Amino acid sequence: MPDYVLKALLVLTGLVLITVLLDIVRRPVRRAVRFAANAVMGLTALLITNALFSLMGQNLGLNWVTCGVSAVLGLPGVALLWGLKLLI
């Protein structure tokens, strides 16, 4: 499968997952905005820490688990993932 098709499927699946989560939870708009802000901050922190740690030879894979944890938990989730990575 070409790389751009896989990326498009991942983006589409992520958007569907977010809309389904928001429909299930049915929380006020403020919480949805907070979730989106956590997701953006968590993913940004994940990418920045990957760039910094790659200089030292460490790397944290970007997959559904790491993206989901960073989206739901935000910055503490990224710290948790790196803590687990460095412990293992």
Cβ neighbours for 9, distance < 8 A, ≥ 6 positions apart:
none
Residue 35 vs residues 9, 19, 27, 29, 66: alpha-carbon distances, Å? 22, 12, 11, 10, 16
Q: Compute φ and ψ for 16, nearest 5 degrees.
A: -65, -40
The angle, 0 to 180 degrees and rounded to 10, between the axes of the packed helices 29-54 and 64-73 is 130
Does the pLDDT value for residue 21 go beyond 80?
no
pLDDT band at residue 87, thresholds of 50, 70 and 90?
confident
Does the pLDDT value for residue 83 go beyond 80?
yes
Q: List pLDDT tens digits, range 38-82.
A: 888 888 888 888 888 888 888 888 788 888 888 887 778 888 888
Q: Compute φ and ψ for 59, nearest 5 degrees.
A: -150, 140
Q: What residue ranges do the domains of the chain occupy?
A: 3-87
Query: What pLDDT is recorded for position 74?
Result: 77
